[in-house]
Structure 1
Amino acid sequence: MNMASMCILLIILFSIENANTDEFISLDCRAEQLGQYGRQSLLECVVKTLQKDTLIRIVSWKKADRNNTDALLVFNEEAIIKQKPGFLFAQPSWDVRNMNVSLLINNTAVEDKGNYTCDVITDRGTVFKRTHLKVTAKYSNPTITLNADKTLTCNSDGGYPKGQLCWFGEGIAELTSNVTTEVNQTAGGLFQLSSRLVVGKESSVSKYTCSVFNASGGLEEKTQYPVMDAPKTEEQEQRKVLDPATRIVAPVVVIGSLIVGLLLALLIYRKRSQKTRRPSTAPLMGVHLRVPTSDVEDGDDT
């Protein structure tokens, strides 16, 4: 290796040694993470570095839509100096050599949704990343009640974000007329949905379905309600009139068919019996009518 090459190599090594170490460390966080209401939610963030002996000095988790001084979890020089109830490291045995700095949220609430920031300072440099938590809650199975004014009321609650109740008739697309919907939000942020359907007297629908859809348009639950006194169509009324006659005529036809079959079987049996007896009686009658010749001749001689 000549002198020029040696100088270039030394310059490169010197540049690496004195370069900003942030280029050799990064923080890998998912851009959006999903949490379920009332359950644990995980905000995954892992420090990536080429240096295996990297040590973490400071970790700070904050809610981006809050005051920057309102930190949720702060680790500083081998000790947690601030921790809001319900927020902790995802790995209980976490230490300064553990590059997994994920945040665990216990008993997730609606107010926990939003943007979070994670700041990490190591002995190799500083990294920063933002992630978003989306919170959802499943709606309860709809309940349907029939009111005195012949309207149906459907209720479903405990869901988030805001969903929608829809009515369907038996064999009919979504019912949109004569429908009123009410939406309320509880103190905890969950939604209560209520929908009323006016059942028309001219309607021939005998069963209604109330379905609850989430904010993404996906079906979560549905309940059916049979209307016992629903008006009948002309075809249904004709069936109702014909049914009693059908119930009477059908057994009569069956019984009549059985009787005719038995009579035919008996007649065939008698005919076969008569044909069987005729050949045996004719010879027998001939024996009794025949007079022996010898007996006649003997009589004449007397």
Structure 2
Amino acid sequence: MNMASIGIFIFTVIYITVVNAGLVDVKCKTENMGQYGQQSLLDCAIETSQEATGAVFRTVSWKKEGIDEPLLLFHKGETIKQPGYSFAEPSWNNRNMNVSLHITNTTVEDQGVYTCTVMTDSGSDTSKTTLKVTAKYSKPTIISEPEKISQSTGGTLVCNSVGGYPKGQIRWFGELNEDWTGSSDMEVKETKSGLFELSSKLTLLRGSTYSKYTCAVFNTSGGKEDEATFEVPDGQDTSGHSGGEPGKPTVQVTTIVAASLVIGSLIVGLLGVILYKMRSRRDHREVRAFESDAEEGGGREVDKEYQDTLA
């Protein structure tokens, strides 16, 4: 359709609209939601008065704001459509009151304001409707920088989520569900397809790190779409080491072993002193018993035995 034909078409629409106002009414849904990569429907239907019952369509036109050429046009019994656009009903004809627009593969560029214009042999009307496009963000992924971090060393957590629309937000939460978003730094990139990539960094200070952090992605309406959790190791491995060279005890382990040896030596020494005192007391009692027996005459027998031994 050339510019002259478009001009004649517009003039005709205006003329018929004024002459037959109220006989034909185009009813379109005010707002429609479309999902990126899916089919979308712009819902419009025709209502007529009794005077226009059985009206026959001469022209149906769908245009998008900012684009000169119609996306879909029925005129003089012929349907002209751009790729990806069609009537919602495949068997649509010039007496079908459902003039809804069907979009095969919704993209970000499809978002906007659309105008549906209908001309019949009994009147004409025009109505506008809006399409909003959304795309769900991917499940967040979290990596650490450096790759191996612990609660004692600190580091940086990086959360990424891609493929969403409109622009969303990444938020951070600690193990007690406290909000750490204010301490993070988020970066937003727009791809060629119009979708967004979100990346957020959270720095963990050495010595003040919790054991668990959650990264959640929220859409533009504030609704949470998905989340991921990262658990920060406490720095101890299964061998009792805490980040030293494999097979070698760390300073902490060495200190514990040395302390255990010192304590063990003290305990052994204390037991030796106790045993020595107990033995001394026993010997002392035996001497006193011997002296007591000597006082009662037992000493004479001992002297006699001693003299016999000398003889």
TM-score, normalization by structure 2: 0.65
CA deviation profile, 1:180-229 (whole Å, cap 9, x unmatched):
11100000000000001101123241110000000011000011111112
> Superposition pairs for residues 43-54 of structure 1, below 5 Å?
43-50=42-49, 51-54=52-55
Identify which of 198, 201, 209 aligns with 1:196: 201
- Structure 2, unaligned runs of 5 or more: 1-17, 147-153, 237-311
Q: Secondary structure at the match of 1:28?
A: strand
Say if 2:155 and 2:206, in contact at 8 Å, map to a contact too: no
Say if 1:22 and 1:124, in contact at 8 Å, map to a contact too: no
Q: Secondary structure at the match of 1:22?
A: coil
CA distance in structure 2 between the aligned counterparts of 1:123 and 1:42, rounded to whole angstroms: 27
Does the C-alpha gap of structure 1 residues 53 and 172 become closer, same or farther in structure 2, counting only changes over 3 Å? closer
Return the letter of the residue paired with 1:42.
L
2:25 maps to which residue? Answer: 26
Q: Secondary structure at the match of 2:202?
A: strand
Say if 2:43 and 2:100, in contact at 8 Å, map to a contact too: yes
CA deviation profile, 1:71-95 (whole Å, cap 9, x unmatched):
1011012211x21100000000000
CA distance in structure 1 between the aligned counterparts of 2:136 and 2:187, rounded to whole angstroms: 18
- Structure 1, unaligned runs of 5 or more: 1-18, 232-302
Say if 2:23 and 2:124, in contact at 8 Å, map to a contact too: no
RMSD: 1.6
What percent identity do the matched residue pairs reach? 49
Q: Secondary structure at the match of 2:109?
A: helix
2:134 maps to which residue? Answer: 136
> Superposition pairs for residues 91-130 of structure 1, below 5 Å?
91-130=89-128
> Superposition pairs for residues 241-256 of structure 1, below 5 Å?
none
Q: Is residue 2:61 matched to residue 1:63?
A: no
After TM superposition, give the deviation of residue 230 of structure 1 in Å. 6.6
Say if 1:115 and 1:133, in contact at 8 Å, map to a contact too: yes
1:146 maps to which residue? Answer: 144
Say if 1:65 and 1:114, in contact at 8 Å, map to a contact too: no
TM-score, normalization by structure 1: 0.67
> Superposition pairs for residues 199-278 of structure 1, below 5 Å?
199-229=204-234
Identify which of 156, 178, 187 aligns with 2:161: 156
- Corresponding residue pairs, total: 210
Say if 1:118 and 1:129, in contact at 8 Å, map to a contact too: yes
Would you identify which runs of 4 or more consecutive aligned residues in structure 1 move more than 3 Å? none
